[in-house]
Amino acid sequence: MTKTLADTLAARECLYVNCGHAMCCKSIKLDIHALIDRLGPDHGSMHWDLVGLFGCSDCKAAGRDHRPVFFTCIPDYEGQQRKRNREWEPTFDGE
Ligand SMILES: [Zn+2]
């Protein structure tokens, strides 16, 4: 199963790109809208779809050896929480 940028956007997931070099470890949230503008909504959003597109400018400037970036996907916890608790109300026994 492939996942596209449009899927990632629809799921309200956050995608972070991280530098894989231990001396650097920079990480930044990807702008999915901007990626869709450049790559199209049907472009894959899995690791292998994106890994070749990114590199670390800091490592390049510092002359460190090139390490592939990796991605972290943060689900929409708040949205999931809202859905789970939609019909739930706590009991309250206070005065
Ligand atoms: Zn780096």
Task: Evaluate whether residue 76 is within a structural domain.
Answer: yes
Residues within 5 Å of ion ligand 1, judged at the Cβ atom: 19, 21, 24, 56, 58-59
Task: Evaluate whether residue 92 is within a structural domain.
Answer: no
- Whether pLDDT at 25 is above 90: yes
* pTM for the predicted model, two decimal places: 0.80
Task: Evaluate whether residue 53 is within a structural domain.
Answer: yes
How many structural domains are present in the chain?
1
Domain that holds residue 71: 5-84
Rounded Cα distance between 31 and 23, Å, is 25
Task: Evaluate whether residue 90 is within a structural domain.
Answer: no
Contact between 24 and 65 under an 8 Å Cβ cutoff? The reply is no
- The 10s digit of each residue's pLDDT in 29-81 is 999 999 999 999 999 999 999 999 999 999 999 999 989 999 999 999 999 99
Task: Evaluate whether residue 50 is within a structural domain.
Answer: yes
Q: How far is the CA of 16 from the centre of ligand 1 (A)?
A: 14
Task: Evaluate whether residue 95 is within a structural domain.
Answer: no
Q: What is the DSSP letter of 42?
A: T
For residue 64, the SS3 value is coil
- Whether pLDDT at 1 is above 80: no
Question: Among 78, 75, 73, which Cα is nearest to 11's?
Answer: 75
- 94: tokens are 């206070």
Contact between 14 and 54 under an 8 Å Cβ cutoff? The reply is no
